[in-house]
Amino acid sequence: MDDIDLNLLPALDALLSEGSVTGAARRLGLSASAMSRTLARLRTATGDPLLVRAGRGLVPTPRARELAGRVRDLAREAKAVLSPRRDALDLPTLDRTFTLRASEGFLAVFAAPLVSAVSAAAPGTRLRFAPKPVKDAAALRDGEIDLEVGVLGDAPPEIRATLLFRDRYVGAVHAGHPLITAEVTAARYAASRHVVVSRRGEAEGPVDEALADLGLRRQIVAVVPGFPDALAIARRTDLVAQVTRSSFHAVGGAALADGLVAFDLPVETPEIAISLSWHPRFEADPAHRWLRGVVMATCRG
């Protein structure tokens, strides 16, 4: 197998189709002498003369006639394999399952509009939302998930990514909370009791670092895995929830109806960059490219 030169396949197809060294050379943009040398190599490779002289022209041998159809099909197939894909994506007939890994907070905001947008364009397409316990690119590498949404972190260099949107932390309390009866200063904020969100169970983060710079420390009473959990606690207790702006707005009218109020934190914290990541194996896949566009349009909209 190592001795087979597949570059000879287009030359063999041209020779058998044209029945002439000159015609095959013209078809492939080669000189007649180069095509003659290629014919010699083909004769050695196949163990057959392929084209033999008859008068002033060449005629195919029985072996050449036998190969002609197969060679033509093989040459076309090889060209199709090694050419860019041009078939149009037919969304109404697309039958495929995509797996997206995202946080609970992201799903609370975007899962419903994503499902609606995908179902409207490609009703045979299914979205499977996987939990996001840790930051690990192995699932992208292994093809277990198609897309990942979240803070990019230390992703391997081959992973493709694009920024979806920027988020920030806000505070959330019930409408009658004493904290919001006056200006929310850093001191008054730190003096309150708090519920924070962490999938890893880590209580302190950027807000605590900013408070520490002011010589302040807050009392964290509860650590929960998701923003909806923190908002539910804030709704029923005097704890101050630290949530993202997007997660609070996901609750929308229900939050306001239940008396939840969001406020800007009295300390500066870095913005949270939420990105969409995928493995380069899917970079040129038409269906995957379409789904990435839907996710980007939904989030940025």
pLDDT at 156: 75
22 has pLDDT over 70: yes
Give the span between the Cα atoms of 243 and 54, in whole angstroms.
Answer: 86
Alpha-carbon distance values, 191 to 130, 180, 211, 244, 256 (Å): 38, 13, 11, 21, 25
Residue 25: Cβ within 10 Å count: 22
Query: Is pTM, for the whole model, over 0.85?
Result: no
Backbone φ, ψ for residue 100 (5° rounding): -115, 135
Angle ∠(229,113,290) on CA atoms, nearest 5: 125
Give the span between the Cα atoms of 162 and 276, in whole angstroms.
Answer: 5
Domains and CATH numbers, the chain: 8-81 (1.10.10.10), 91-167+273-300 (3.40.190.10), 169-270 (3.40.190.10)
Picking from 146-155, 251-260, 277-286, which range would have the lowest pLDDT averaged per residue?
251-260
| pLDDT tens per residue across span 113-141 | 999 999 999 999 999 998 876 666 778 88
Q: Is 98 helix (H, G, I), strand (E, B) or coil?
A: strand
